[in-house]
Structure 1
Amino acid sequence: MSRSWSRGPRRRYAPRPPRSLWRRLLDYGLTVVLLALFILVAARLDRLETRKEQGTAIVNDGDSITLGIERIRMRGIDAPEYTQTCRKEGADYPCGKLARQSLVRLIAGRPVSCSGWQRDRYGRLLGDCKAGDTDLNRAQVQSGWAVAFGDFETDEATARAAKVGIWAGSFEEPQDWRDSHHDQPVEKKHGTLASLGDALRELVRLW
């Protein structure tokens, strides 16, 4: 078996003309500006102080606890409000109370630690919380007693497919329930992307 091929005409490469003095000065200037911005951002990041709280948790509802005097709203999730009802098998049931009970079971009397730097409109710390090795935020979504609210969409999809927790019946989204039962501003989602946006806005404010 033979192969035949022909050599095409060689392409000639002409050397690039040297950059003009003004172009080089512009490149150097942009480099200096970017470096200065990087230094300023690095200097301001320490102003975004992360708070860490730990201790015995008082469970308020399915997505909020109190540690000492610090009220904490669990970041990236949204559980039914304590007085909210959902529907299953043709009857209403107290899904808000069951969401709180789920969080109590997950904590299981263990010390809880939470960390975060953002606060919601009520002044509560938006926290990522753990009890031992249990990621409480994620576990509430996985158990079906909270919906994703900026994070944990994959965990929500798994819980929905398994029809656990509130997914076993029908329910009103906690945000919609709050809007219809309380005359309050809409709570924005507080997942990873929202956190990045808040960080940028905070850095601009600090400058």
Structure 2
Amino acid sequence: MTRSCRLFRDGVATFALLAVLGLLALKMNNRPELIQTGSFFVIDGDTLSSDGQRFRLLGIDAPEYRQQCRRNGIDWACGEEARRTLNTLINAGTPECRGRDHDRYGRLLVTCMAGELDINGEMVRSGMALSYGGYTAEEHAARQAKAGVWAGDFERPKDYRREENVAQSNRSNPLTGLIDYLQQLVGWRTQ
């Protein structure tokens, strides 16, 4: 077999293999859009539940339920307020939430609409959620208006979660607890 025939054969085989891989990738990426309507239970400012399934609002990150923020030098329960705001928006009409992908916790990532109102965007516009891969114009408007969390000082929800996870792991480690106790006893603790 001549060299040019082998090259042609190898080229055709490579093209066929790539075509099959491309078709498989398209098939795997062609997930149907899931649509959920009806009543939802609001867990926090960016998480819903319905019929035992959890949904995470796509493109936003709201303060955690127990998270505190500061406004005019006074702590306020921004996480609880974010939950109340989402609850009001979800119960204002008949919401429809659509999504294809799941996050690492198995929650369906959704965009929720109540009529013409994009609930995800409204959470950011009201200052009760931050843009997280979407809704940058809404976040800019909320910052300009000093709406919600932008009216004072706050810790970004992802930073709050990270610190809570570190604190939780320290509480579950008896050696860390003992070291903390001894540091407090001797006065080495700086805060």
Q: TM-score, normalised by structure 2?
A: 0.73
Q: Measured at CA, do residues 159 and 30 of structure 1 come closer, stay the same or move farther in structure 2, by a change above 3 Å? A: farther
Distance 2:103 2:21 in 1: 29
Tell me, what secondary structure is at the counterpart of 1:180?
helix
Matches within 5 A, 1:18-57: 25=8, 35-46=19-30, 48-57=31-40
Tell me, what secondary structure is at the counterpart of 1:129?
strand
For residue 88 of structure 1, the aligned residue among 42, 61, 71 is 71
1:26-46 Cα distance to aligned partner (Å, 9 max, x none): 877776555444433333333
Structure of larger gyration radius: 1
Equivalent residues of 1:57, 1:111 under 8 A apart: no
Tell me, what secondary structure is at the counterpart of 2:36?
strand
For residue 121 of structure 2, the aligned residue among 128, 134, 138 is 138
Distance 2:159 2:29 in 1: 35
For residue 129 of structure 1, the aligned residue among 96, 112, 133 is 112
Q: Does 1:107 align with 2:90?
A: yes
Equivalent residues of 1:63, 1:78 under 8 A apart: yes
Q: Measured at CA, do residues 30 and 153 of structure 1 come closer, stay the same or move farther in structure 2, by a change above 3 Å? A: farther
Q: How far is 1:166 from its partner?
A: 0.6
Q: How far is 1:118 from its partner?
A: 2.5
**Which position in structure 1 is the counterpart of 2:102?**
119
Distance 1:113 1:70 in 2: 15
Q: How far is 1:80 from its partner?
A: 0.6
Tell me, what secondary structure is at the counterpart of 2:144?
helix
Q: Does 1:77 align with 2:48?
A: no
Tell me, what secondary structure is at the counterpart of 1:99?
helix
1:8-54 Cα distance to aligned partner (Å, 9 max, x none): xxxxxxxxxxxxx68x94877776555444433333333x3432221
Distance 2:71 2:45 in 1: 19
> What is the identity, as a one-letter code, of the residue corresponding to 1:99?
A
> What is the identity, as a one-letter code, of the residue corresponding to 2:161?
R
1:127-162 Cα distance to aligned partner (Å, 9 max, x none): 111222211111111111100112222221221122
The number of residue pairs the alignment matches comes to 165
Q: How far is 1:125 from its partner?
A: 1.6
> What is the identity, as a one-letter code, of the residue corresponding to 1:43?
K
For residue 161 of structure 2, the aligned residue among 173, 178, 199 is 178
Unmatched 5+ stretches in structure 1: 1-20, 186-207
Tell me, what secondary structure is at the counterpart of 1:182?
helix
1:83-108 Cα distance to aligned partner (Å, 9 max, x none): 11100111111111111121122224
1:101-125 Cα distance to aligned partner (Å, 9 max, x none): 2112222442222122322333222
Tell me, what secondary structure is at the counterpart of 2:110?
strand
> What is the identity, as a one-letter code, of the residue corresponding to 2:27?
A
Equivalent residues of 1:63, 1:74 under 8 A apart: yes
Q: TM-score, normalised by structure 1?
A: 0.68
Distance 1:93 1:44 in 2: 45
Equivalent residues of 1:56, 1:110 under 8 A apart: no
Distance 2:16 2:142 in 1: 50
Provide the alpha-carbon RMSD of the alignment: 2.6
